Chains A and B, each alone.
Chain A
Amino acid sequence: MKNGSISDISEDILKGCKAKNIKSQEQLYRAFYGFAMSLCLRYCKTPEDAREVVNDGFLKVFDKIHRFDPALSFKAWFKRILINTAIDHYRANYRYYQHDDFQMASGLESIEETPLDRLGYEELLKKIQLLPPAYKLAFNLFVIDEYTHEEIAKKLGISTGTSKSNVARAREILRKILSSAGRVYLEK
């Protein structure tokens, strides 16, 4: 991705989307669906949730495409939208997730030991899904998407200390998951 270029989105698609042309919108969707789904699967609890966030994200993009600056990267702009949508989704469904955290984690088998250089996306996803939602959110934002603790605190409405603590707890749990030979038991 190059800054200062529009290499990650064609000018025709951009023009068409601004004119609310459905063909252009489909082209954009096809081009960025995989990227969006991969990102949302990390943030959401289930594939159904991820699909919902992806579609909501695309709807926001189609609505606000005129605000996009073609001099910047579309992917970076879209990523911010997706993450914000995932956070909104997490807030909206928080109460429904709370009860399942411990139950779900305690019922899963541990992952088999994996060589350092062979940890694939699917395996990473499985491990991340074992984290409690608040830890998963902070971990994704800080470690994978490289937000600062200040930004995370602002986005989630928590203190930077809580953000740091959540990331640290997430790492601790992931270490246990990766190294455990038996069942994994997580505490909230």
Chain B
Amino acid sequence: MTDWENIPDDELDAILRKSAEGHHSPFNESEWNGLATQLIARRKKAGRIKVFSYLLAGLFVAAGFIFFRMHHSVPEKTDAPKADHPIKARETGEVLGSDSSDANYKPLRQNENPVFGVRQASDSSGADYKPFRQNENPVYGIRRARETTAPAFTSAVLREQDASENKAGNESRETGYTDRRLPEGSPVLIKREKAKLLSPVLHLPQINATVTPKSESARARQKGMSIRLLYSPDFSTIGTNKIFKAGSNAGVLGEYRFNRQWSVQAGVIKSLKYYHAYPDQYDSPYNPPSLKDIEAICHMLDIPLNLRYDLVNTAQKKWFVSAGVTSYLMLKEKYSYNYNYDASAHRKGWEGKTGFHPFGVANLSAGYERKLFRNFTIQAEPFLKIPLQNVGYGNVKLATFGLFISGKIELSTQPK
């Protein structure tokens, strides 16, 4: 019988080492199946990360391009020959009114028809161009320009045009410029635009307007960048499980508007999610039979990429729907395990982070946006996040809903 109490250290070590050597646990088929599933999931995830990286790089390039365009507007007339007559302006598409230091400036003579420029510029086809009759009222726009945007416009030109306006009579003053005089198919311009269009022909230095076809002009007005700060309560669940606590979402989104209807959004939302899972929904390597349920607290970054469509878009309000995908970057995950009986030998939980889950969730939302100030709007946006992939340590299909309340600042100052 061995005297275990008094056995020397090296002898004890040798016995224990010998016992450990050469032992091989039996192979377990189900273990490999679990690992194979993990390997395949990791491969898919790697593929999604690659796609995400390309998309992110593309977004940066696009954002850089937009930023450059916003801050370095290219003069459009550089390549076109300078038009010294309004007719030439029509033919060449020259930008009018941008040259405030024109040395050749001369006030118009009384018989000159300053409206040529307007008609020519607004008529992109030019096929049905007809000059205005002498008694038509070309001056209305000038008056509007003086009243609204050209305070320094007090030269002899005005006096000449006022005289012309008096000839045109009361009718034109009261009813304004009548678009029926324009050729069919010509864009209908509002008065302020007419004023802007007229002014370059008269070489008004105060008005920087470009004469462009209407469609282009409208598109320019609807483009622009904005920043949204948002907050929402977070209700996350797996299937129809109970929601044991509300989390939160707070973040910042950049938004670029392409036109009246469409815009794209991307950004970062710091998210705190609480959810509850049952063992059959929680697929981790550690899942003993006595496990009853799991309570999860997850801190993560939600990185959305959404496309928004405005159903109603007026100066004061917008109704919209939006859809897209979200990627999760897990910052901290904490899972507490509850057992069916007192299982002190089992783990009480798991803490850590499982990294990046690209395009794991689909975003759907609809909302209402209201203008408060010139460049500031608020909006309410109920949302639903539908799981596309499994996320987190437990590989769960996590759905989330809530209501984003956000304030939006328009960075570009183009009128809408």
A residues adjacent to B (C-beta < 8 A): 20, 22, 25-26, 29-30, 33-35, 37-38, 41-42, 45-46, 48-49, 51-52, 54-56, 58-59, 62, 92-93, 96, 99-100, 103-104, 113-116, 119-121, 123-124, 128, 143-144, 146, 171, 174-176, 178-179
CB-based A-B contact count at 8 angstroms: 117
Q: Do residues A171 and B5 form an inter-chain contact, with CB atoms below 8 A? A: no
Chief secondary structure at chain A's binding surface: helix
Ranked nearest first, the 7 interchain pairs of A and B with the lowest CB-CB distance are A34-B24, A37-B25, A179-B4, A178-B4, A124-B19, A121-B23, A52-B285
Q: Do residues A26 and B352 form an inter-chain contact, with CB atoms below 8 A? A: no
Chain B 2-39, CB-CB to A under 8 Å as 1, else 0, gives: 11110101001101110110011111100110111011
Residue of B nearest to A42 (CB): B20
CA distance A46 to B346 in the complex (A): 7
CA distance A114 to B322 in the complex (A): 72
Select which of A55, A92, A144, A175 is within 8 A of B5 by beta carbon. Answer: A175
Q: Do residues B351 and A92 form an inter-chain contact, with CB atoms below 8 A? A: yes
> Knowing A55-B38, A92-B352 touch, does A116 contact B15 (C-beta < 8 A)?
yes
- Given A34-B24, A171-B9, A175-B5, 8 more A-B residue pairs with CB atoms under 8 Å apart are A33-B28, A34-B27, A41-B25, A46-B345, A55-B31, A59-B39, A124-B19, A143-B17
Q: Do residues A174 and B16 form an inter-chain contact, with CB atoms below 8 A? A: yes
B284 smallest CB distance to A (angstroms): 8
Select which of B2, B25, B345 is within 8 A of A116 by beta carbon. Answer: B2
CA distance A51 to B284 in the complex (A): 11
Give every chain A residue within 8 A of B12 (Cβ-Cβ).
171, 174-175
Q: Do residues A55 and B285 form an inter-chain contact, with CB atoms below 8 A? A: yes
A46 smallest CB distance to B (angstroms): 6
CA distance A93 to B351 in the complex (A): 8
Give every chain A residue within 8 A of B58 (Cβ-Cβ).
none
> Knowing A96-B347, A100-B344 touch, does A38 contact B35 (C-beta < 8 A)?
no
Give every chain B residue within 8 A of A100 (Cβ-Cβ).
344-345
CA distance A37 to B12 in the complex (A): 24
CA distance A68 to B13 in the complex (A): 31
Residue of B nearest to A33 (CB): B27
Q: Do residues A25 and B39 form an inter-chain contact, with CB atoms below 8 A? A: yes
Give every chain A residue within 8 A of B19 (Cβ-Cβ).
119-121, 123-124
Asked if B131 lies at the interface with its beta carbon under 8 angstroms from chain A, I say no
Asked if B348 lies at the interface with its beta carbon under 8 angstroms from chain A, I say yes
B43 smallest CB distance to A (angstroms): 8
Q: What size tier do the contact residues of chain B reach?
A: 35 or more
Select which of A34, A37, A104, A119 is within 8 A of B15 by beta carbon. Answer: A119
Q: Do residues A143 and B16 form an inter-chain contact, with CB atoms below 8 A? A: yes
> Knowing A55-B31, A178-B4 touch, does A124 contact B16 (C-beta < 8 A)?
yes
Give every chain A residue within 8 A of B350 (Cβ-Cβ).
92-93
Q: Could you jot down 29 A-B contacts, CB within 8 Å?
A: A20-B43, A22-B36, A25-B36, A34-B26, A34-B27, A38-B25, A46-B346, A48-B287, A48-B347, A51-B286, A55-B31, A55-B38, A59-B35, A59-B38, A113-B1, A114-B2, A115-B2, A116-B15, A121-B23, A123-B19, A124-B16, A124-B19, A144-B17, A171-B12, A175-B5, A175-B12, A176-B5, A179-B3, A179-B4
User: Quick one: which of B134-173 are within 8 Å of A by CB?
Assistant: none
Give every chain A residue within 8 A of B4 (Cβ-Cβ).
175, 178-179
Q: Do residues B347 and A179 form an inter-chain contact, with CB atoms below 8 A? A: no
Asked if B355 lies at the interface with its beta carbon under 8 angstroms from chain A, I say no
A34 smallest CB distance to B (angstroms): 3
Residue of A nearest to B288 (CB): A48
Q: Do residues B347 and A93 form an inter-chain contact, with CB atoms below 8 A? A: yes
Select which of B24, B31, B347 is within 8 A of A51 by beta carbon. Answer: B31
CA distance A96 to B347 in the complex (A): 6
A59 smallest CB distance to B (angstroms): 7
Give every chain B residue within 8 A of A34 (Cβ-Cβ).
24-27
Select which of B2, B31, B286, B346 is within 8 A of A54 by beta carbon. Answer: B31
Give every chain B residue within 8 A of A99 (Cβ-Cβ).
344
B294 smallest CB distance to A (angstroms): 14
> Knowing A33-B25, A41-B25, A51-B285 touch, does A144 contact B20 (C-beta < 8 A)?
yes
Chain B 285-297, CB-CB to A under 8 Å as 1, else 0, gives: 1111000000000
Residue of A nearest to B30 (CB): A51
CA distance A95 to B287 in the complex (A): 19
Give every chain B residue within 8 A of A58 (Cβ-Cβ).
35
Asked if B47 lies at the interface with its beta carbon under 8 angstroms from chain A, I say no
Q: Do residues A49 and B286 form an inter-chain contact, with CB atoms below 8 A? A: yes
Give every chain B residue within 8 A of A175 (Cβ-Cβ).
4-5, 7, 12
B77 smallest CB distance to A (angstroms): 58
User: Quick one: which of B25-78 are within 8 Å of A by CB?
Assistant: 25-28, 31-32, 34-36, 38-40, 42-43
Give every chain B residue within 8 A of A92 (Cβ-Cβ).
350-352
CA distance A20 to B43 in the complex (A): 10
Give every chain A residue within 8 A of B285 (Cβ-Cβ).
48, 51-52, 55-56
Q: Do residues A62 and B344 form an inter-chain contact, with CB atoms below 8 A? A: no
B332 smallest CB distance to A (angstroms): 13
Most interface-central of B5, B19, B27, B40 (chain A CB within 10 A): B19
Give every chain B residue within 8 A of A93 (Cβ-Cβ).
347, 350
Asked if B349 lies at the interface with its beta carbon under 8 angstroms from chain A, I say yes
A146 smallest CB distance to B (angstroms): 8
